[in-house]
Structure 1
Amino acid sequence: MKFRFILSSLLVLPMFVSAQSKTSEGTSVAQPRKMTDMDSLMVNQIFYSAMEAKVTDNYGPAAEMFNRVLQIEPTNDAALYQLAQLKIQKQDYASAQGMLENAVAVKPDNKWYWLTLVDCYEKTSSVIKLEHALNQLIRLEPNNTDYRFDLAKVLYFDQKYDESLAVYDQLIQMKGGLDDDILAGRQKIFLKQGKVDQATAEVQQMITANPTEVRYYLLLAELYNSNNLNDKALKTLQAAEKINPKNPQLHLALADVYRDQKKYEDFFNQVELAFASPDLDIEQELKIISGYIPKFPDPNAKASALELSRAISVSHPDDYRAWAMYGDMLFQNEKYPDAEVAYRKSIAIDGQHYEVYDQLVRLEVSNNEADAAIKDGGTALSLYPNQAWMNYLVGVAYSQKKVYDKAISYMKTATEMAPDDKDLLSLTYSSLGDCYHEIKDNPNSDSAYDKSLSYNPDNAFSLNNYAYYLSLRGEQLDKAAQMAAHANELQPNMASFEDTYAWILFKQKKYADAKVWIEKAILHDKTNSVTETEHYGDIMFYLGDTDAAVASWKKAKAHGEQSPILDRKINERKYIE
């Protein structure tokens, strides 16, 4: 390319260090060098080639040539500016800043140099220099209000509040009065200075000039409320309510005042009025509802969140987020069928959000709605095939239908997709243990339970089920007893766990201990389990109370247990293995 030839020809030129002086701020500024006609021609040629290199993204050669220009002409402001731009591309703002300071020393009336320098000063937090640069831009364009706004903000940041106010005064004169931007800037200053009266007076001035603009009433009320002037805030908002009673932000502001006054019924009524408006942004509504969640399981918080979520499903019926939140709050309030309906409406509006499918399928699995879980889970996996949890949930649904080959397939996929999720791995291997037991694959069942407990030694269901299945086979009874005991420590008063432990003790011929635990199971059981009733009879037989044993076996039969072995126990009045 052309610039390469020119660059190589320049390497024979002598190197030198230009003379420099310093500005009042301590910046080194290059001094002019007397240029010959040949020097000027060479500078123009090199600069042109450097620009050609830059626009073709050959930044390295471009930088070398711009530097060469500066060796010949240290005060070449264009080369300084272009080289600074290359430094900025590399986020080397400090180096760029020095070059730009040299450029404006040569051409102090170049607006673009100052604008780029302002950007560098912002990046390097050089506040004092930033003030100077903005003042120079104001000097160049005195009617540009943007520069004055920026200067006022910088002075505020530097805690030069009176100077910042003076700049805002200039803006008021230029704009012919207060506007929202000037008002907001001055409000910050007055509040920093503790001048609440001046802050409220200026907002009142805007209300007088714009009596139907509710936003100024809201601003004034916020000022009053944040400074513990609740009565004045309430009076201001009530005046605004007469102007626009349907304004949702007005009702939220009233709610804030009532909350601070501990008038919680009035607070909630105002929030409801705000939520009833379709003009209230749903993001704001969702944020408000989410604020209740840390207060769960307080029933009042749950009820309030539920009612508000219902309101947004009415005011935003076509937004999937409204129905998803309503579903979540219905679930929290244990209204599971209604929660399913809400989730389905959310998916019908926009079926591209995995988290909604996840909630729906979890609910279906927990309600033993296996067919629905398989259908909805399949839809979710068609959209998000790499979701390990969804594979697990669909696997559980298939296990509920006793389709164990598919259940095992989905669960294995889940373990492969989430090798680092210990909670999921423990749950999945536990379910795999159950599935393998059902198909009488005891080695794989035991292996799966061992893996489950390796990821979570406190998985109570793995401990209980593994222990029970070992006891049914009469294998490793000491290990089974330890696991069952630990499961009961983790989740005391759970009837099925207590029954497991009782049965293992029975298998170990520790009949007195077994009686204690089976009685606990019967006490805590709310379902009149025929298994526990039959086990109680088995234990009583070996404790020598045959009449109690037979009575218990008969009770199990009366409650629905039908088996030839149970009939033999009753007829022969003895325990049958």
Structure 2
Amino acid sequence: MSQKSAFILLLLGLLVASPGHAQRQPSAPATSKPSPAKPKKLSRKERKELARRAEIEVVQSQGRQLSEKDREISESFFVDGIRYLLLEDYNKALERLLKAYALNPANAAINYKIAETNMLSGNLQDATNFAQAAVKLDSKNAYYHLLLAQIYGSQKQYDQAAQVYTTLIRDVPDSGYYLFNLADLYITQGKLNEALSTFNQAEKQFGPLDEISFKRQQIYLKQNNLDKALQEGEKLVQANPDEVRYVLAQAQMYAANNRFPDAIRVAEQALKAEPENPQARMILADIYRQQNNPTESQKQIKLAFESPALDVDNKVRILVDYIKQLPNPALTQPALELAAITTRVHPKEAKAFAIAGDIQTVTDHKAEARSNYMKAIRLDNSRFQIWQQVVLIDAELNQTDSLLRHTDQALELFPNQAPLWFYNGVAHILRKDAKKGVKSLEYGRKLATDNPELQAQFDTQLGDAYHELKDYAKSDAAYDAALVFDANNAQALNNYSYYLSLRGEKLEKAKEMSGKLVKQNPDNDTYLDTYGWVLYKMKDYAGARQQLEKALKTSRDATVVEHYGDVLYQLGEKEKAQAEWERAQKLGGASPLIDRKIKDKKLYE
């Protein structure tokens, strides 16, 4: 034989001996040229033409013995086809391999590689045919069986795939390990009894194995055969007393099925091996909770939280469950304690401080919540939701300076968030800078085009801001726009009607709005004062007196007291009016005219 022929045979032997694509994807040989783009799947017409040409060549080759020259040519086409297969050029690979097949159709390796190429290019029917041929030509080659099983599996033909594995295990020496593949295939099909039988067969051949016990346990659970599942678990624990994951799984299974004494026994066994194991603590905590022993349950969960081995994500998930149950007096303190432990054990985790802030917000510890939110922001300032929580707390606590500072900081990171512009505008208004407030509110309103409710809130604040700037036309337009969206907008109804009364304009409209609001909120002293003042401006002093006296049942606001004094003066009760003015002066916060009224004992408006 020539040296060239010997080299080709050597390469052929190496390729046939390799597992091929049925087991692994070989990497392409190193080359300085870029890898070719993955070709498209062969068209049906192309596959037919290649098969037709191969059939013609097969027919032509029949009836004659393969010559040395034809053998060399076939091997050359085969090697060439393998090269293109490694480069994932399946069209050229299949063309070369079919030429090799035409010269030597009884070669098992050629059939195998044609099957593999067809499988990889998506032609599963032809892949099946050639894989079957390869198995018939060489029934002792495990790789041929495995490829055929893989092709059947790709087509969800699980019964055929199972039969291939059965034949492989029976006919090919040293193939017992494939019992595990067969068992997994049975599980996929839901044939659990067959899977159990196969695992039992594997255990007879290989002896007790953790993998067999574990998978058998999972099958028993699917069959709702708890006793056998627990037996398998005990086998795993006894065989691996230091393997804590098996111990914990067994404890969890006992606990899930209300076998609490056994669950506690096994969980404590895990703690003997690993005294600080947080999973064991969490199992015990859940058991004691179900046994209505909150003290011991909280003790165990706190011990689990003290462990860095229980990662912050798990702690966050647990705390989220607490939030879902809050407010609950029995859980408030435990939740706060766990949140504090989380921030202490994970001082560099933003999510630890964020969840602590959430717990404190829900339990009405707003100042502490804001402090934790700010710590979270210092660790990670990219989460808008945390900034939003900080801003909301600033507003709730009426801390205008903080509100302005934090919205300014947040807007540098999130300039397109309309809610931040809203609160920024509110902060400027509260700081008596209505001009800047209007600028922020108008800009933010443009960003809220997809949120009509938020736009209505912007309109309400713009009504207040434009009033401060004495741009009454824009103020009225803003209030009207807010009321178009929500005719019961309390802030818009109250402020709009009050400012109209101060201006002495559209008093009938002001009366209608404030009267509507009082009807909806008959005990609200602010709304009663507004309605009373509108009636005062309409010279309905008796009606105004009635509304203001209702307001004074709950209000100690100097403005309300001063208004009441004004009404009394108009009704001719000047001494009573003087007494109310003096009371308003002592309360603080009355109008700038209060001193003149008292000094001159005369009404000034």
Task: Establish whether residue 248 from structure 1 lines up as the match of residue 275 from structure 2.
Answer: no
Q: 1:533 aligns with which of 561, 564, 572?
A: 561
Q: Distance in 2 between matches of 1:541 and 1:76?
A: 112
1:357-436 equivalences in 2 (<5 Å): 357-436=387-466
Q: Which SS does the other structure have where 1:36 is aligned?
A: helix
Between the aligned partners of 2:490 and 2:164, the Cα distance in structure 1 is 69
Indicate the SS of the match to 2:262: helix
**C-alpha distance in 2, partners of 1:431/1:140?**
85
TM-score between both structures, scaled by the size of structure 2: 0.76
Q: 1:499 pairs with 514, 523, 529, which one?
A: 529
Q: Decide which of 131, 146, 153 is 1:104's aligned counterpart.
A: 131
Equivalent residue runs for 1:465-504 within 5 Å: 465-488=495-518, 493-504=523-534
Q: Which runs of 5+ in 1 are unaligned?
A: 1-10, 19-29, 88-95
**Structure 1 match to 2:598:** 570
Pick aligned residue for 1:36 from 35, 56, 60: 60
SS at match of 1:461: helix
Structure 1 CA distance for aligned equivalents of residues 259 and 520 of structure 2: 53
- Counterpart of 2:194 in structure 1 is 163
CA contact (8 A) 2:142 2:175 kept: no
Contact 1:501/1:514 (CA < 8 Å) preserved in 2? yes
1:266, distance to aligned residue in structure 2 (A): 2.0
| Contact 1:365–1:396 under 8 Å retained in 2 | no
Aligned mate of 2:301, from 271, 286, 300: 271
Separation in structure 2 between the aligned mates of residue 161 and residue 128 of structure 1, nearest angstrom: 14
Query: What's the counterpart of residue 182 of structure 1?
Result: 212
Q: Quick one: which of 578, 583, 588 aligns to 1:550? A: 578
Q: Which residue of 2 aligns with 1:447?
A: 477
The answer to whether the Cα contact below 8 Å between 1:302 and 1:333 also exists between their aligned partners in 2 is yes
Any stretches of 5+ residues in structure 2 without a counterpart? 1-44, 63-69, 136-140
> How far apart are residue 435 of structure 1 and its match?
1.5
| 1:478-504 Cα distance to aligned partner (Å, 9 max, x none) | 333343345456666443233223322
Cα contact 2:497–2:530 (8 A) shared by 1: yes
Query: Which position in structure 2 is the counterpart of 1:343?
Result: 373
Task: Note the C-alpha offset of 1:283.
Answer: 0.9
TM (normalized to structure 1)? 0.79
d(CA) in 2 for partners of 1:13 and 1:149? Answer: 36
Displacement, 1:144?
7.6
Partner Cα separation in structure 1 for residue 313 and residue 182 of structure 2: 34
Shift of 1:275: 0.9
Range with bigger deviation, 149-158 or 400-409? 149-158
2:169 and 2:178 in contact (8 A); partners too: yes
Deviation at 1:167, TM superposition (A): 2.7
Distance (Å, rounded) in 2 between the aligned partners of 1:457 and 1:311: 48
Partner of 1:218 in structure 2? Answer: 248
How far apart, CA to CA, are the structure 2 residues paired with 1:186 and 1:533? 82
SS at match of 1:222: helix
Structure 2 SS opposite 1:324: helix
Q: Distance in 1 between matches of 2:128 and 2:118?
A: 12
Query: What does residue 228 of structure 2 align with?
Result: 198
* Distance change in 2, residues 1:292/1:510 (3 Å): farther
Aligned to 1:521: 551
State the alpha-carbon separation in 1 of the partners of residues 85 and 150 from structure 2: 27
Amino acid at match of 1:232: D
Q: For residues 446 and 130 of structure 1, what CA distance do their matches in structure 2 show?
A: 78
Amino acid at match of 2:285: A
Which residue in the other structure is 1:332 paired with?
362
Deviations 1:160-183 (A, max 9, x none): 22211123234445664232x433
Query: How big is the shift at 1:203?
Result: 1.8
Paired letter, 1:567: D
Structure 1 counterpart SS, 2:316: helix
RMSD of aligned alpha carbons: 4.3
Q: How many aligned residue pairs are there? A: 541
- CA–CA distance in structure 1, aligned partners of residues 582 and 335 of structure 2: 50
Larger radius of gyration: 2
Query: Residue 51 of structure 1: CA displacement?
Result: 9.8
CA distance in 2, matches of 1:372, 1:144: 73
